[in-house]
Structure formats: C-alpha cells, structure tokens
Structure 1
Amino acid sequence: MSATTAASCAAARHSSWRIVVAASIGNALEWFDLVVYGFFAVTISKLFFPAGNETISLLVTLGTFGVSFFMRPLGAIVLGAYADRAGRKAALTLSILLMMAGTLIIAVLPVYESIGLAAPLILVLARLMQGFSAGGEFGSATAFLAEHVPGRRGFFASWQIASQGLTTLLAALFGVVLTGKLTPEQMMSWGWRVPFVFGLLIGPVAWYIRTRLDETPEFLAAETTTTPLRDTFASHKLRLAIAIGLVVLGTVSTYLVLFMPTYGVKQLGLSPSVSFAAILLVGVIQLVFAPVVGHVSDRHGGTGIMLVSAVLLLVLIYPAFAYLVANPTFETLIAIQIVFAFLMTGYFGALPGLLSEIFPVATRTTGMSLAYNIAVTIFGGFGPFIIAWLISATGTKTAPSFYMMLAAVISLIALIAARRKLGFR
C-alpha cells in the first residue's frame, strides 16, 4: 500500500469515527434527558403531582412521561421531512436545540408547593417540547450514520443503540450516586435536578460538534423530493407497516428497562441504589454489545439475530419475572438484567441498519422517523404506565412480562414479513 493510499484510509477512518462521536454524543444527550425523567419518576411524582394516594401520584407522573410521546409523530413528520429536504445535519442541529430548551425548563422549574398548578402544567409543556425533538432524532441520526458508510450500515447505525446504552449508563450512574449519597430530603430538595443540569452542560458541546459536520455523501448524491411525507404514504405503506412492527419489541424492551428502578423500589422492596446499580449493567452491555451485533448484521443479515433474540425474549420473560418475584434479591435482579440486556441488544442492535435499508434515500428519514415514533408512542411511551396499571389491575407482580410477550409476537410477525415480502435476510 502506498503512503498516499495509507494516508487516505487513515483519514477516512478518522472521519468515520468523528461522525460516530458527533451523532452519538448528541443522541445520548437527547435520550439522557428523557430517560432521567423516567428513572426519577418516584421523586418527581411527589414534587409535581402530589396526591393522597402514592400509586395515583406515580401513575399520573408516568402518564405525563407518556404524554410527551404524543408529540413524537409530529416531530417525526416535521423534522423527518425537514431532514429529507434540507439534509440530515440541519435536522440534527435543530433537534438538539429543542431538547436543550425543554431540559432547561425542567431543571429550573419550581415545584407544586411553590407555584401550584402552574408547576405540572409547565412540566407537561417541557415534556411535549422534548417529545417533539426526540421525534426527529432517531431517523435523522440513524440516516446520518448509515449513509456515510453504506457498505457497513449495520455497524455504524448500531451506534444509535450504543449511544442509548451510554444514556442508560449515565442516567443509572446518577441514580446510584444520588440515591446512595444524598438523604431523601436532599433528593427531594435539589438532588433530582442534578442530572438535568448535567444535560444542559454537555448540550452546547454536542450542538457545536454537530454544526461542524459534513452532510452525508449518499444524501448529496441522491435526488431529493419536496414531498417526502406524501411519497412515504403513497409508495411505501407496506414498508412503513413492517417497520412499525419491527420497532415494537425494541421500544417495549427499552422502556421496560426504564421502568425497572421504579419496579424494584415499589414492587420488590429493593433500595433505589440497588435498582439503579442493576441498570448500570444494562447500559454497559448495550454500549459494548450493540456494535458487535451491527457488525454481524453486515456480514450475515440482521433478521436472523433479531429472530433468535425475539423468540428467546418471548419464551424466557415470564419465567424470569416469576423467579425475580419469588427471589427479590440484588443478585437475582442482576442476573436477570444481564440476560435481558444481551437479548434486548441482540434485537435492538441490528434494528437501525435494517430500518435504513427498508426506505430509499429520498424518504429514508421520514419513513424511519414515522415508523419508530408511531411504535414508540403507542407501545413505548405509555409502557411504564401500562405496566404499572397491569400490576395494579391483575394483582400480580409478573404482569410486566405479559406486555413484553405481546410485543415479541408483534415484532416476530413483522420480521417474517420483512423476510418474505421485502426479501431481507
């Protein structure tokens, strides 16, 4: 290899990793701001939604978590179409600015005791702003990663999931440290705000990096359309339906993980620091294992590893919860979370690359954004609320497994359709 060729290869590798870092740090921040709200739901419920019954207060808080997801399809439509018209870079920069604005409001917002009903109302508005922002993030970031190195879509797109693992890791780390070091009074007074302030500090860094990125070569070379939303519904309805089904298991498993600290505290009687420590492992596994799954999907196709993961989740989730309920210890929670994290990442790690292949360049971000956010809104955003309701309605602590089993069946049907109708392997 000549010196010039070697230098070109080194420059290409450097550029590729710069792209991964830029997309991942912004994506991690986007999801971090959403995840910490779910992780600190118990504290937020007492501060912003006080009620005589703690269960009702928590349900209202988790319902508010879900309300923001109503804005996701709108964000997917507006920001997804914007990305297909103006470019992935423009949409990524706009989405992070919107997320930072919502986070700022939550970080400084006075609680119910100080300003009464204005507190929960403003909190809901901030959550709606975050939901709108997140609605355009997945499709834009995934397209941005996948289109820079088309031959390795699976690997580079999998960093979308790895960055969500980083989010889980950071949020859980805050949970472990804050709940372990601060008194309950300190947590209620100011401790819960610390993660949101942290998000504000790294937000400008992520925004600066994104403004310095180059647009994707594949987008620049493709013929664009001025009507990506209309084109998606006119020409790709089957692809959109299959993509929505594919996302269901990924989003339900993600938000079940998000619910686990609340589940461990309220249902199993574990300390908050113990519950967050178990989540730390999930974040580490997702961060490290997702790129491995993406690499395998480039070589052998993504649907195979997704099918295996989905079937194992379907078969194992109920026995795992039953065993955890019968043995509510830290060791049991850790063991189940490890197995669950590998299976979840095995499915979710290959998903972005597969989704990027389903839609053509001209409507890729719109199609992926719609598919992802419709599934997330229906099945993921209200997942914690539905799970909490199922536990209350059925009287059994294994109820979260029922929801996961339903999601697994839906996504298995979509996977089979992707193989038979669209020819994916």
Structure 2
Amino acid sequence: MRGKVLGAAMVGHAVESYDFVIYGASATIIARHFFPNTNPTLAILSTLAVYGLAFVVRPLGAAVFGSIGDRLGRRTALSAVVLIMAVSTAAIAVLPGYATAGAVAPLLLLCCRLAQGVSMGAEYTSAASYVMEQAPAHRRGLWVSAVNSATFVGSAFAALALLALQLLSPEAYADWTWRLAFAFGGVMALVGLYMRLRLEETATFRALESRGEVAVSPVRDTFRNWRLFLLLFAIFALLAVVVHNLLGYFPTYLATTGGLPDGTVLTAGVVALLLCAATCVLTGVLVDRFGRKPLLVVGVVLAVVGSVPAYLLAGGGTLLTTLAAEILLVLPAAVIGMSATIIAVEIVPPHIRVTSTALAYNTAYAVFGGTAPVLGALLTAWFGRLAPGAYITVLAVVALVVVVVAIPETRNRAVAEPDPVENDEESEVLRGVR
C-alpha cells in the first residue's frame, strides 16, 4: 500500500521538476531553435519569459484541478493533471523550430508551456494532500517528504539525462537530441497516469462524501478564508524564489556569468540535487519528531545566511566551488519545501484542502517563481553577480518574521478536523479564517 501510494504521487511531481530543469538548463539551445538569432541576449530573455509565462496560468490550473480534487476526489485530480502533463511535455519534442515555422514556432512553444503550467497548477499540492491523508498520523512528515524529494530526484534525473546526451555528442545535442529529453518526460508522465488510475480514493474524502460535506465552491470558500490563504502564500513565496533560482536560473548563471562548461554545471547540479532529496527525507523524519515549525525556521535561516555566499562561490570557476554554491541553495530549498508543505496540507480544512493549498502555492509561484529566472538575469545585469543572492536574502528575512510570528505548529493536528485553526492560540493572524 505504502509503495503504491508514494510511487504514484512521486512520479508526477518528479516529471514536473524534470521538465522545468530540462527547459531551464537547455534555455540557450531552445533560444537558438525557437527565436530569431539576430540578438542572442534577447532570444535567451524570450526563452526565459516563456518559462515564466507557464507560471502565470498555474493559478488557473489550481482553481480548476484543485476544485476537482475537493469535489470529485484527490485521485481524479491527480490523474487529470498528469495526463495533460504527458501530452504537453512530449509535444515539445516534435515542435518545428524558427527556421522551419518562423513566428509560429515560439507560439507553439508557448502553448505547450501554458498547458504544462495549467496541469502543474494542482500537481504538487494534490499529491501532498493525497499522501498526507493516506499516511499514519505519526509518519505524515516522512510520507510527504517522499513527494517533496521527488522535486529534486526529478531534477537530478533531468541533469543526468542532459549530461548523457551531451557526452554522447555535443553537436547532436545542440542540434536535435535535446528533444529526446522532452520525449522521455512525456513517457514518464504516461507511466504516472497508469499508476494513478490504480489508486484508491482517500478515507478523508470518502468521509466528506458520506457526511455530505464536500465543498460546493472550493474556490469561494478558499477566499473566505483569506487570512489563511495569505499565510500560505507568504511561506510558499520564499520557497518559489529559492527553488526556481536554483532550477530555472542558476544553470544559466553558472554558464554565462561563471563561465563554466555545461558538463561541470550539470555534474555539480546532480550531486547537489541528490543530496537535497536525501535532506528532504531527513527533514521528514525530523518534523515528525520535533515538529514542523522549528524545521521551517531552520530552513529560512539557511536561506538568510547562505544565499549571497552561494552566488559568491558560483564565480569560483571550479567544480568544487560550484558544488558548494549549489549546496548552499539546495539545503534551504529542501528544508523549507518539506516543512512548509506538511504545514500547509495539515492546516487547511479537509473540504478545501486541495484548492486552498494549490491556489496559495501556485499564486506564489506565479508571482515569485516564474519571475525568478528573468529577474535573476536582470538583477545580475543591473547590479552585479551577487544581486540575486541579496534578493533571496531580503525575502528570507521577511519570511522569517512571518514564520516566527504567525505560523502555528500542526504536528498533532487531525487531518479530518473540521476547523483546524479555530482554537489555535499560537497565532492571532489565523483567527476568523472561516
């Protein structure tokens, strides 16, 4: 039972992060294939802008598929999003380039990315909600950590795939074999669909159905709980910046500003991401033992103290300094991601759990995650190579205040409790969210 649940939940989220790393790490190649080559800088910025636009539609996907998860069941939402993900990811592998289709090429690329963005709107939080509701009460953190670790496992697998393709033939990779990476992502998503169709619905959702408590309008109910929405948005905003600076911008930064060869960038990335996946699981064990909030504080502090040094080390020009820089970014990403996710799915009432967490998560990612690569490039150009690290530090300081003042502890909270914040004495911010 455990392996079936965790495997099906992990594979979809692994494909999500796999796709974003493939796109981010291949940005310079995609720019050459899908945009005019008269201005290489503009072509790269356009490619990163398409990356960001996929985030703009994620709140739409969160509203649609989050509502499906709360009205028709978690399993239904999980199956629907991974199907769309499979089709849109595989489609990029066969799109015509600018030399063949002209201005139609970037439009087709944008359509695929928008479809991916919609499908991803409820992927992560649906998977986390499903796993948390299926997990034993004393192992909820550990089980959810498997979903969170899939972010970094998928990212590491993407880096390995790109590294293998480059080692086989750098010329072929720049010409056409980069498309194979997207094709394989589509195949992985289809495997995920097969696994998810074999899942059973959670007992929590079945109980809501039997009591007639399924939400009629989960989106409306989410915004009635606007204080809770804003709190979740705040903790996910920092996560979005850290993760998508790491996955979406840092490879380009290392190659352009750091002057490192692609092989060095990918090798350091694989090692750091696998370490981060292990850190997610360790964090899952620790949040079950010591609580969610203490680990979230640790993660935010790591972001405060490590972000500027990470960008400083990134200019060292060696594999060792690059690996150290990657580790300084992946550790807060792992600890914040794990602890924030388990808090989010535990704190929200079950009848709007998928919708509320999906909307908060994806709105934060649309505002802060999708803009991270472009903003990182602009900050570097305007203020120097340490500016992206300083940006993360400032946001982390703000997030630290929010976490200390407003975030409650949720370790002992029942997942089906009708109003998990009603009597919470830890945070006046959360009073009256219903």
Q: What TM-score results when the alignment is normalised by the length of structure 2? A: 0.90
Paired residues of 1:247 and 1:411 also in contact (CA < 8 A): no
**Residue among 296, 315, 319 paired with 1:306:** 296
What SS does structure 1 have at the residue aligned with 2:96? coil
Q: Distance in 1 between matches of 2:278 and 2:197?
A: 27
Could you report, residue by residue, the CA deviation over 1:85-144 in whole angstroms, capped at 9, with x for unpaired residues?
A: 000000000001111121122111010001101100011011000000000112211110
Q: Distance in 1 between matches of 2:107 and 2:325?
A: 38
**Overall identity of the aligned pairs, in %:** 33
Q: Which residue of 2 aligns with 1:381?
A: 370
Q: Distance in 1 between matches of 2:283 and 2:108?
A: 41
1:199 positional shift? 1.3
**Residue among 90, 94, 101 paired with 1:104:** 90
Q: Which residue of 1 aligns with 2:226?
A: 237
> Superposition pairs for residues 51-130 of structure 1, below 5 Å?
51-130=37-116
Residue 412 of structure 2 corresponds to residue 406 of structure 1: no
**Residue among 427, 431, 434 paired with 1:421:** 427
1:276 positional shift? 0.8
Residue 307 of structure 2 corresponds to residue 321 of structure 1: no
Paired residues of 1:41 and 1:62 also in contact (CA < 8 A): yes
Paired residues of 2:90 and 2:184 also in contact (CA < 8 A): no
> Superposition pairs for residues 93-172 of structure 1, below 5 Å?
93-149=79-135, 151=137, 152-172=139-159
Could you report, residue by residue, the CA deviation over 1:334-353 in whole angstroms, capped at 9, with x for unpaired residues?
A: 12222432232122122211
1:423 positional shift? 9.5
Residue 211 of structure 2 corresponds to residue 225 of structure 1: no
> Superposition pairs for residues 267-306 of structure 1, below 5 Å?
267-306=257-296
Could you report, residue by residue, the CA deviation over 1:365-387 in whole angstroms, capped at 9, with x for unpaired residues?
A: 00100110011000001100100
**Residue among 169, 175, 179 paired with 2:162:** 175
Q: Distance in 2 between matches of 1:338 and 1:104?
A: 31
Paired residues of 2:78 and 2:123 also in contact (CA < 8 A): yes
Q: Identify unmatched segments of 5+ residues in structure 1.
A: 1-14
Q: Distance in 1 between matches of 2:363 and 2:277?
A: 25
Question: Considering only aligned residues, what root-mean-square deviation do their CA atoms show, in Å?
Answer: 1.6
Could you report, residue by residue, the CA deviation over 1:185-232 in whole angstroms, capped at 9, with x for unpaired residues?
A: 312321210111111222222111100000111111123111111111
What SS does structure 2 have at the residue aligned with 1:240? helix
Q: What TM-score results when the alignment is normalised by the length of structure 1? A: 0.92
Between structures 1 and 2, the one with greater helix share: 1
What SS does structure 2 have at the residue aligned with 1:241? helix
Paired residues of 1:141 and 1:160 also in contact (CA < 8 A): yes
Q: Distance in 1 between matches of 2:381 and 2:165?
A: 29
Q: Distance in 1 between matches of 2:350 and 2:130?
A: 11
Q: Distance in 1 between matches of 2:280 and 2:127?
A: 16
What SS does structure 1 have at the residue aligned with 2:57? helix
Residues 26 and 324 of structure 1, relative CA distance in 2, 3 Å threshold: closer
Q: Distance in 1 between matches of 2:55 and 2:2?
A: 32
Residues 48 and 310 of structure 1, relative CA distance in 2, 3 Å threshold: same
Could you report, residue by residue, the CA deviation over 1:275-329 in whole angstroms, capped at 9, with x for unpaired residues?
A: 011110222112222122112112211111111221132123213322432x222
Q: Distance in 2 between matches of 1:252 and 1:232?
A: 24
Paired residues of 1:155 and 1:353 also in contact (CA < 8 A): no
Paired residues of 2:309 and 2:325 also in contact (CA < 8 A): no
Q: Which residue of 2 aligns with 1:3?
A: none
Q: Distance in 1 between matches of 2:73 and 2:146?
A: 20
Q: Which residue of 1 aligns with 2:255?
A: 265
Paired residues of 1:175 and 1:273 also in contact (CA < 8 A): no
Q: Identify unmatched segments of 5+ residues in structure 2.
A: 409-425
